[in-house]
Amino acid sequence: MKEKDFSKISARSGEEGFSSFPPGYEPRKTRYIVVMGTVISGLGKGIAAASLGYLLKKRGYKVSAMKFDGYLNVDAGTLNPFRHGEVFVLDDGTECDMDLGTYERFLDQNFSKDNYLTGGKLFNRIIQKERAGEYLGRDVQFIPHVTGEIKRFIRELALKKQLDVLIIEVGGTVGDIENSYFIEAMRQFASEEGKQNVLFLTLTYIIQPSSLGEQKSKAAQLGIKLLMGLGIQPDVIVCRSENPLSRKIREKISIYSNVPVENVFSSPNLRTIYELPIFFKNEGLDKKVVEILGLGRNESDEVAELEEFVKRIKEPEEEVTVAIAGKYTLLNDSYASILKALEHAGAANNVHVNVKWVETTEVGDPGKELAGAHALIVPGGYGKRGVEGKIECVRHARENNVPFLGLCYGFQMAVIEYARNVLGLEEAHTTEVDPSTPHPVICLLPGQEKVERLGASNRLGGRDVQVIPGTRAWELYGRKTIVRERFRHRFEANPEYVPMLEEKGLVFSGKAPGENVMQILELPDHPFFMATQFHPEYTSRPLRPHPLFKALVKAALEKKRRGE
């Protein structure tokens, strides 16, 4: 029987199918790996996907990754970090899930809006097309239109980037209503592309109750069975667990899933997530994936650089403590990129960075709260909760020579603190918190006054920063006068107050090219006191730590060695 050419299907044809093939797309040119969860969320599907992507890239393949999130938000921009972890920002301004940050760090490449699809973005796209009449009078349905648009989104990225391998992570777990149409789309996708070109990798969890002391696989079996009931036959199963997987459990998972035992892989808890690609390589996961997908090339898969990086993490020469003073400290994932940037910087300095969490809504005596910390970070945020605590922490760091790095809102808190305690403007504030302040040292960016909606309304994404020669920032950036950083803010240092602040010793060492918008500040006479209106943590990579984080950790180490 002749194989059907799905690329010829169109809405005009009268067939039930809906064309999800963009013009110029060549079926079966790109191989696809679909990563799905089963039992519980939060297992690390993104880390597993990124680790596999890293290994395939090291083998010489052109690789990218994509994330599906079922929630009906158009993007992650309005999500509370308590609910979903940090909001990661891509260079093109897309506000997205923190897994995209994991992909960028592991693959060492920038991603875009084409790598991220939410339920809200998907349905928004469909409704706009329906209103424009692009479905040619058809009644718009989940099948073929919703699933068809998902498949088209995948193929558009594969075509645009001319990829060898595209890794697709389906967020959530099997059985969730919100991701059911994504799972159905993947079932159809495998049929259309040819099963030999689409590999299903399923993550599951093997429990080990402390009362029993042995691994149990029944919950994993049930989750996999549910996925199979939706028409997805896993090709590879990765079992998350506290300890390495026993042979007995591998065999049980194999029997109940129709997956050969050699295709069942272990993923135990490790010291650092960057150890996972090395572990997968030793397990032979990348080799098995290459074999199943029939990928022809098998170039160098050397991972010595990563092994050296992991060694420095696991065997540091010293350790320092960095305080993070924020208002989302009850959920560490709220500051995931900062933690990773500190890990990168720590390895570069051969030190382990301990993090001391300071909840700024409860700060009384900042000296007591920051006791034992060799450096302080005040991260980004919005709103008035915890503001006064942040300002007091900044004051303590400035007055007591504690190395300090302010990020976004932390930059604004540093300006307020300096205006209050050095300029003597006691009621200085940001108009975000106090619209009637007599000294609005922080105010709205130009053009933000009439913005009413919250989603995607910030100054977002990658922008150039002009660095002033002769400053500490200029030295740390390798004496570059233009650097690119990522932003997510609506407020700025009020230009009217900048000359007053500079007269009292505050140096604005970076600004927006051609604009009077301040973007980096520093104190020359302080061991290390810097703040940025942008988020340097977004662009830190394991083998290329961000220079500001690297310098902060170095300053913390020097403070510790001085015995301060």
Cα-Cα-Cα-Cα torsion 109, 111, 114, 118, nearest 10 degrees, comes to: 130
Instruction: Answer yes or no: 537 catalytic.
Output: yes
Measured in degrees and rounded to the nearest 5, phi and psi for residue 64 equal -145, 175
Characterize 98-120 residue by residue with b for buried, 16 or more Cβ atoms within 10 angstroms of its Cβ, and e for exposed: bbbbbbbbbbeeebbebbbbbbb
Residues 471 and 345: their CA atoms lie apart, in Å, by 21
Measured in degrees and rounded to the nearest 5, phi and psi for residue 520 equal -140, 140
The distance in angstroms from the start CA to the end CA of the chain is: 79
Of 367, 353, 352, 357, the C-alpha closest to 324 is 357
Of 386, 375, 370, 371, the C-alpha closest to 330 is 386
Of 539, 5, 82, the C-alpha closest to 327 is 82
From residue 407, give the alpha-carbon distance in Å to each of 431, 490, 534, 536, 543: 18, 14, 7, 8, 22
Instruction: Enumerate residues 6+ apart whose C-beta is below 8 A from 49.
Output: 33, 35, 65, 99, 103, 167, 169, 201
Instruction: Enumerate residues 6+ apart whose C-beta is below 8 A from 76.
Output: 69, 84, 87, 88, 95, 96, 97, 118
Tokens at residue 166, please? 């595209």
Residue carrying structure tokens 């395939």: 56
Task: Determine which one of 275, 417, 522, 537 is catalytic.
Answer: 537
431-438, Cβ contacts within 8 angstroms, sequence gap of 24 or more = 431/491, 432/382, 432/383, 432/384, 432/490, 432/491, 433/383, 433/384, 433/387
From residue 2, give the alpha-carbon distance in Å to each of 5, 38, 289: 9, 36, 28
Instruction: Answer yes or no: 396 catalytic.
Output: no
Sign of the alpha-carbon dihedral angle for 468, 469, 473, 476: positive
Task: Determine which one of 96, 393, 408, 443 is catalytic.
Answer: 408
Catalytic residues: 408, 535, 537
